[in-house]
A and B are shown apart, each in its own frame.
Chain A
Amino acid sequence: MKIDYRSGNSIKTQIPLDYKEYLKRKEDKQQQQQQQQQSTQPTGAITYKRKDRLDEQFRQIFMKTGIVTQASGSCYLEIEKTKVLCSVYGPRATPKTELFETAKLNCELKYATFSSNKEKFDYLENTKEKDQSLIIYQSIIGSLRLDKYPKTVVDVYILVLNDDGDVLVSAITAASMALADAGVEMYDMVASCSAVCIKDATLINPTAQEETLTEGAGKILVSKMPSHNNITQLIQTGELNYNNVLESVNLCIDGSDKIYSIMKQNLIDSLLRQQKKDGDGNEINGITTNAADDQMEE
């Protein structure tokens, strides 16, 4: 349930821009327009070069499973500044009396109010959350063996704490990790990767700034189950020609393979950790000690 966080305040407020940035933008616009008048080049052809990494390079990824103790499974994921938390409840019984032959999957993505410094939260924002929830749902449902859990529900909740681009990729990856952590039977984990296509480059794993470089820039998101070589979700927006589409899809497929190897390693590590913890716990007769927790913290 989204409550308008501004509702407590009777005064209309807004987020101020940076003055320098504003002046700079104004200048850029003027220059652009001058150029437009001189040449008849199509608009929106912005050249952009990444400074700190290659076009197909990922940002640092950090993930940790099992951090929400109340949930059946959970995962916290960080792609540099993008921070996402996902928790999975279930398979659990449902209060509804309907009979399902297979388990039902619910997927809910939410943005924390402070997760983005640009956009306002309003009605459209709400449909954005629902639309993205649906994309995540479609990405992961194909990987799960829901027929193993008749008459139950699996709830996946995702909270975006900090949005610095590539939220959907983070959310899909976190959701798949959390489901694995919860022990829901699956064919394979879902890895995902997205790209932004600008005039002369395809940027993998874009930041929030790169996502908004040009309006209506080509964006591609691929999620797949690598061991089946099966694409579970494919979303593209913006006008691109056929070859560009194929090229970027292939780049994203390679990207998701990379993410997949990180996911796998992480899951193995967390299992080892858990095993170690359980081993320690048994020695002291079921009472988990703080010592084991401390080790985990380290």
Chain B
Amino acid sequence: MKVSPSEVSFIQKGIEHNIRTDGRSRVDYRHFSLESGEIVHSNGSARLKLSDTEVLVGVKAEITQINKENNNASGNNINVNKRLIFNVDCCPSASPEFEGKGSEFLNIELAQQLDRLYSHPNVIVGLYNTNDNTKYDPPTATTTADDNENSNNSSLTIVPNKYYWTLYIDAIVLDSDGNLFDALSIATRAALFNTRLPKIKAIQGEYEEITFEVNDDPFDTLSIDIKNVPICVTMTKIASQFVIDTTTREELCMDARLTIGVNSSSNICSIQKGGISGLDPPTINQMINTAKVVGLKILSTMDQALLDIQLLK
């Protein structure tokens, strides 16, 4: 997609006057709708529709064994300690630019952005029983410490120092009308909220081998506490102003963008700059500040909506 110079000027002037082509002001968000639990075979899923932008996120939980060999090989291997693994795929149907290898770098950029957003070890603060909303205590290490990091998202522990849940988070961009970063982060958060982990009992066998007993009651499961899970807000600089929630057309006239991750305790979880031209430090301060306000607002509306969904079910 390309825009003509006159179109660019039209969009820029509109933004200067605080009115955008679709009638929004600079800090207005488009309406979005969330659906969850669409993918039956995944542990959790969510679909977000933000105007024409549509993303689908699925969460698949797998049991990972931390074998000593790996651990030994590379003391601090990131791979071993990672509990959340992201993968983003932009469908060629969303935009002709995603065809072939066109989306290769965008996929990596989007996945890495999510990865940065969840880079803090305490993103997932805990699990709770889906039935009665009581806190679930994961088994903690009682034996002597081993050399792996069990502080990292420790709530996903099954057997301390041995088995953990690894969440594979796969996102697909089905249709694109701008603001992919934010859409993905919101959908991921919703998908995590929707995730149900089966209760697992580990049984120590005779020869140190461990067998699992999976509770097959579909209602007696564990949910993830998303209190600390951040979302991101992208501030896009067009002309001399910055706007949120851009459409594809607006993104084509952007000078630079700043994607800022915010969580509910109003901490900044990640920042990533994109786009060709630079930004001056005062603008960056302003952007972070605005992003914080907007982010908190989205988070509170979202939490309310998610609670409603849960009550309905």
A contacts B directly (C-beta below 8 A): yes
B139 at interface, CB cutoff 8 A = no
Residues of A within 8 A of B112 (CB): 127, 131, 134
**Interface residues as binary, B268-299 with A (CB distance below 8 Å gives 1, 0 otherwise):** 11111111111111001100110010000000
Q: Find chain A residues with CB under 8 A from B146 CB.
A: 26, 29
C-alpha spacing A234/B260, complex, angstroms: 10
A237 x B108 contact (CB < 8 A): no
Minimum Cβ distance to chain A for residue B272 (Å): 5
Q: With contacts A14-B73, A119-B78, A130-B105 known, is A236 near B147, CB below 8 A?
A: no
Binary flags per residue of B138-166, CB closer than 8 Å to A gives 1, else 0: 00010011110101100000000000000
A242 to B285 CA separation, bound complex (whole angstroms)? 9
> A245 to B74, Cβ gap below 8 A?
no
Q: Which of A196-218 contact B (CB under 8 A)?
A: 212, 214-216
Query: B248: CB under 8 A from chain A?
Result: no
Q: Which residue of A15, A118, A142, A241 is within 8 Å of B278 (Cβ)? A: A142
Q: How far is the CA of A239 from the CA of B262 in the complex (A)?
A: 9
B147 touches A241 (CB 8 A): no
Question: Is B304 close to A, CB under 8 A?
Answer: no
Instruction: Scan residues 125-151 of chain A and give those whose CB is less than 8 A from a CB of chain B.
Output: 127, 130-131, 134, 138, 141-142
Q: Which of A1-38 contact B (CB under 8 A)?
A: 14-17, 22, 25-26, 29-30, 32-33
Q: How far is the CA of A253 from the CA of B280 in the complex (A)?
A: 11
Number of interface residues of B (CB under 8 A): 53
Q: Is A249 an interface residue when CB atoms closer than 8 A count as contact?
A: yes
Judge whether A134 and B121 touch: CB under 8 Å: no
Any B CB within 8 A of the CB of A283: no
Find the B residue at minimum CB distance from A232. B278
CB distance from A192 to the nearest CB of B (A): 12
Residues in A neighbouring B74, C-beta threshold 8 A: 15, 118-120
Interface residues of B (CB under 8 A from A): 69, 72-79, 81, 105, 108-109, 111-112, 116, 119-122, 141, 144-147, 149, 151-152, 230, 256, 258, 263, 266-281, 284-285, 288-289, 292
